[in-house]
Structure 1
Amino acid sequence: MQVPPVFIDVSPEDQAQELRIYLKSLGAEISEEKSVKGIEDDLHKIIGVCEACFKEGQEPEVEMVLNDIVSIMVLIPADRSENIILAFCQKLLKAQGPKLGLVCLRALWLLFQSLDETSPMRYHVYYHLILIAEKTDQVKSVFQDIEHLKQQFAPCPPTSEQLQILYRLLHQVLLKSNHSEQAAKVMIELLGTYTDKNASHAREDAIKCIVSALGDPNTFLLDPLLALKPVKFLEGELIHDLLNIFVSENLATYLKFYQEHKEFVTSQGLNHEKNMQKMRLLSFMQLAETNPEISFDVIERELQIKAEEVEAFIIEVLKTKLVRARMDQAARKVYVSSTMHRTFGRAQWQQLRDLLHSWKSNLSMVQEGMKNVTAAQLEMLNQQ
């Protein structure tokens, strides 16, 4: 989000008085006189009544007032500005309507950019930016990705507790805004903030992470979740058993689990039909890992679908790009060229190592062959 810098060619005290006069003209309960206690008290009083300008249809005036407040606020020494900044953030949350919300978002972004990079208050401003971005459906204009977020706070990283609070909010807002893939990454980052000492306290976050990943129709690589410390503390619980099924088991195993624990699956907010669809895709990936040719009969049997549904299912699989394959309707077969692995453990690393070694050997052979061809051509030229 880009906002223009604000340049005010008057003293902060005179600027504050102009704001007092303007807000009083709008009906705010504030005197026109400067505070005898100084500019900080002026700001507190101005912020306390600044909602007097929050009127639909007058967004330019609102933006002018808010930017004036920001231009004064950033001049207050850091050790005395905390309460002023928090009061300003809280006040902007009260703005109603999408247009005013966008004005407040721009003003708060200006404050965030204007604060010194080492100021711990940038965290609090960013947190409120996300809250306003949620109201205005502008979360992606504030949050790009985890790496960008870390860069923003590199000079003054938030505490682990602050990060956990921020990540929980981001996860909620991203899910609500239909950015499920980013939400899942944020949740994994959240779980990564826990250590061996406090991982047992992350139970609720771990469960949310698993449920979000299972319920996301675009998340298929679930194996990394098992390595997270808070998830490990769930071993032996039903939610961990269910995760293991999605990581490495097939549709039949899921259906058995569901028959035995229907109420549990429903209580987690998971949809059984969507779970089945996802398990069919994962089960097909598993078949494709070891079978370069898969008959329609095997697909019907293993994935428990009707004969007339097989072709449509294969098309859906190909759309995901999880598997690269060719369908032969006449032969009633699928010819697999490659597939994404559901898990990436020792066996997969060994397979990758062998593939790279083979590739290296082939390159050496090609290089040697080219040398021989070049030598032969040079010899022919010399003979001529």
Structure 2
Amino acid sequence: MQVPPVFIDIAIEDQTQELRAYLKSLGAEISEERSPKGIEDDLHKIIGVCDTCFKEGNEAEVELVLNDIVSIMVLVSPERAENIILAFCEKLTKSHHQKLGEVCLRALWLLYQSLDERSPMRYPVYYHLLLIAKQTDQIKSIFQDVESLKEQFKHCPLSNEELQKLYRLLHEVLLKSNQSEQAAKVMIELLGTYTDKTASHARDDAIRCITSAIADPNTFLLDPLLSLKPVHILKGQLIHDLLNIFVSENLTAYLKFYNEHKEFVTNQGLSHELNIRKIRLLSFMQLAEITPEISFEAVEKELQIKMDEVEAFIIEVLKTKLVTARMDQLAKKVYVSSTMHRTFGRTQWQQLRNVLQAWKNNLSGVQEGMKSVNAAQVELMQQQAQPV
């Protein structure tokens, strides 16, 4: 987010007095006189009534007032600014008018950028930025990806408790903004903050992670979740059984689970219809791993769809780019070139090793062939150079 810098070429005391006078003219309950207690008290009183300017609905005026407050606030010594910053964050989060949400977001982002990289106040400011972004659907303005977020806090590391609180909120905001892939990454980061000793306290987060991954139409590789300690703690419970189905089993296994635990699936907020769509795609991937040539009849039987729906289903699979294949409608077959593996264990590592070994052998063969060609050319040149 680009926020214009604020440069006001007057004394801080005069700035606060002008803000007081302006807000009073709008009907705020504040005197025009500066506080004898100093600039911090002035800021507290100004922040307390700054939302008065929201009633006018003039974005430019509101932004000018908020940026003016920020420009004064960042000049207060860090040890005395904490309560002022928190008051400003809470005021913008709770009091902003819906139409002025982006203005509030920009003002708070300006404050965030103005703070020293080592300032512990960057955390609460960013947390409130997320709250406003959730209300205004502007998460893209302040969040790029998990790696960038970590970079922002590298000079002022957060505690596990702070990280967990931040990741939970970020996950909610991303889901609300339909950024399910980023939300899934954030949830995995959240679960990664738990240790062996605290994993048992992460039950709700682990369940939320599993259900989010299953519900996300763009997440197909669920195997990594099984290695997370909080997820491992759930082993033996229904949610873990359901995850295992989406990791490595097929449509038949899911339908059996659903018929036995319909209420459980519904209570997790999962859609049975969407679950079927995903498990069919995953089942086809599993089928493609086994055989490079799949008949329409096999697709019909394995995925329990009608013959006249097979072509449309295969086209849907190809659109996901999970499988690279060619469909032959006349022969009623699918010829698979490659497929993403649902799990990546010892078998897949062995397959990769074999592929790399074959590639290495082919390169060695090419290298030897080039040496032979080069030797033949040298010999030919030497023969041509000899006098007749």
Instruction: Name the TM tier (shorter chain).
Output: over 0.9
Q: Which runs of 5+ in 2 are unaligned?
A: none
Letter in 1 for 2:276: M
Letter in 2 for 1:280: R
- Could you tell me how far apart the structure 2 residues matched to 1:109 and 1:143 are? 11
- How big is the shift at 1:55? 2.8
Q: Could you say which residue in structure 2 is the equivalent of 1:115? A: 115
- Could you tell me how far apart the structure 1 residues matched to 2:360 and 2:129 are? 51
CA contact (8 A) 2:200 2:233 kept: yes
Q: For residues 55-91 of structure 1, what are the alpha-carbon distances to aligned partners after superposition, in whole Å with 9 as ceiling and x for unaligned?
A: 3541111111111110111111111111100100111
What SS does the corresponding residue of 1:110 show, helix, strand or coil? helix
Q: For residues 359-380 of structure 1, what are the alpha-carbon distances to aligned partners after superposition, in whole Å with 9 as ceiling and x for unaligned?
A: 1111111111111112211221
Q: Could you say which residue in structure 2 is the equivalent of 1:304? A: 304
Q: What RMSD in Å do the two structures reach over aligned CA positions?
A: 1.0
Letter in 2 for 1:308: D
- Could you tell me how far apart the structure 2 residues matched to 1:278 and 1:291 are? 20
Letter in 2 for 1:223: D
Q: For residues 227-252 of structure 1, what are the alpha-carbon distances to aligned partners after superposition, in whole Å with 9 as ceiling and x for unaligned?
A: 00000010010000000000001111
- How big is the shift at 1:94? 3.2
Q: Percent identity, please.
A: 77
- Could you tell me how far apart the structure 2 residues matched to 1:263 and 1:56 are? 51
Q: What pairs up with 1:57-96 in 2 under 5 angstroms?
A: 57-96=57-96
TM normalised by structure 2 equals 0.97
Q: Could you say which residue in structure 1 is the equivalent of 2:266? A: 266
What SS does the corresponding residue of 1:157 show, helix, strand or coil? coil
What SS does the corresponding residue of 1:273 show, helix, strand or coil? helix
CA contact (8 A) 1:95 1:101 kept: no
- Could you tell me how far apart the structure 2 residues matched to 1:96 and 1:71 are? 19
What SS does the corresponding residue of 1:197 show, helix, strand or coil? coil
Q: Could you say which residue in structure 2 is the equivalent of 1:181? A: 181
- How big is the shift at 1:5? 1.3
Query: Structure 2 vs 1, CA of residues 332 and 20 (structure 1 numbering), >3 Å: closer, same or farther?
Result: same
- Could you tell me how far apart the structure 2 residues matched to 1:56 and 1:321 are? 51
Q: Could you say which residue in structure 2 is the equivalent of 1:354? A: 354
- Could you tell me how far apart the structure 2 residues matched to 1:32 and 1:95 are? 23
- Could you tell me how far apart the structure 2 residues matched to 1:193 and 1:291 are? 40
Displaced runs of 4 or more, over 2 A: 94-99
- How big is the shift at 1:104? 0.7
CA contact (8 A) 2:223 2:247 kept: yes
Q: Could you say which residue in structure 1 is the equivalent of 2:43? A: 43
Query: Structure 2 vs 1, CA of residues 17 and 301 (structure 1 numbering), >3 Å: closer, same or farther?
Result: same
- How big is the shift at 1:145? 0.3
Q: What pairs up with 1:313-328 in 2 under 5 angstroms?
A: 313-328=313-328
- Could you tell me how far apart the structure 2 residues matched to 1:305 and 1:20 are? 71
Q: Could you say which residue in structure 2 is the equivalent of 1:367? A: 367
Greater shift in the superposed pair: 247-256 or 92-101 = 92-101
What SS does the corresponding residue of 1:337 show, helix, strand or coil? strand
CA contact (8 A) 2:295 2:333 kept: yes
Q: Could you say which residue in structure 2 is the equivalent of 1:139? A: 139
